[in-house]
Amino acid sequence: MLLHIENVLTPEQVAQCRRRLAASDWVDGRITAGEQSARAKRNLQVPEGSDASRELGELILGALGRNPEFVSAALPLRVFPPLFNRYDAGMGFDTHVDNAIRFAGPVRYRTDLSATLFLSDPGDYDGGELIVEDTYGEHAVKLAAGDLILYPASSLHRVAPITRGSRWAAFFWTQSMVKSDEQRTLLWALDQAVQKLTLKVGQADPEVVSLTGTYHNLLRMWVEV
């Protein structure tokens, strides 16, 4: 499932992130890449574990926890502490697949879902689209600052080269309580249908109660905690 989630951060929070990042050091982004990705990656990153990375990561994790769309789609068990990257003119990231396991200190994260949270508006740069491949072809993504794209970490994807300006973003991975993308997609669709039906007929309607029970029983069947 490829999902665009709007307004994860407010404009004020985006501005806060950009001010903090502008005052931070940037290093070669290959320091967090696997062997395959390192050969394809041309960008800059704020060092993992830096004060800025921790501060802004906590801001983003708090926003994600309050976002019902993210919670419903990702069913997060663990969210990897967000990292921050920058693509300037001439930089890009060739086609790759994200590492299956990431480490944050002693904690291991299975990367079920990848996410990019845009911190630059589309008019600030040319190129820089996140291009995700799936069974239906390629999807080019370039979102407003504060918006997030969520997609299976197993997907082939790349960042198109920047030809003007600079693209700033946060990126991270989620270990879901439901490992299968197909199962998560079904649960997401069912949850969305239940919410829409609830708005029409109320929470106490027998069909809403029945569908809600089905959702939770499927979740109980598939969840891994």
Residue 188 backbone class (left: φ over 0; alpha: ψ -120 to 50; beta: rest): alpha
Contact 2, 151 (CB under 8 A): yes
- The structure tokens listed for 65 are 């926890």
Answer for the pair 129, 161: CB distance below 8 angstroms, yes or no.
no
Does 98 count as an annotated binding residue? yes
Cα–Cα nearest to 175, from 219, 133, 217, 223: 223
Name the DSSP letter for residue 198: H
Residue 167 assigned ligand-binding role: yes
Closest C-alpha to 15, from 127, 119, 132, 125: 119
Q: Is 96 annotated as a binding residue?
A: yes
Both tokens of 223, joined, read 């969840």
Q: Are 1 and 151 in contact (CB under 8 A)?
A: yes
DSSP-derived letter for residue 130 is E
The answer to the question of whether 108 is labelled as a binding residue is: no
**Token pair for residue 64?**
């994600």
User: For residues 78 and 81, what is the distance between their CA atoms, to the nearest angstrom?
Assistant: 9
**Contact of 123 with 149, CB cutoff 8 Å:** no
Binding site membership for Fe cation: which residues? 96, 98, 157
Per the annotation, binding residues are: 96, 98, 157, 167
Give the residue numbers of the binding site for 2-oxoglutarate.
Answer: 167
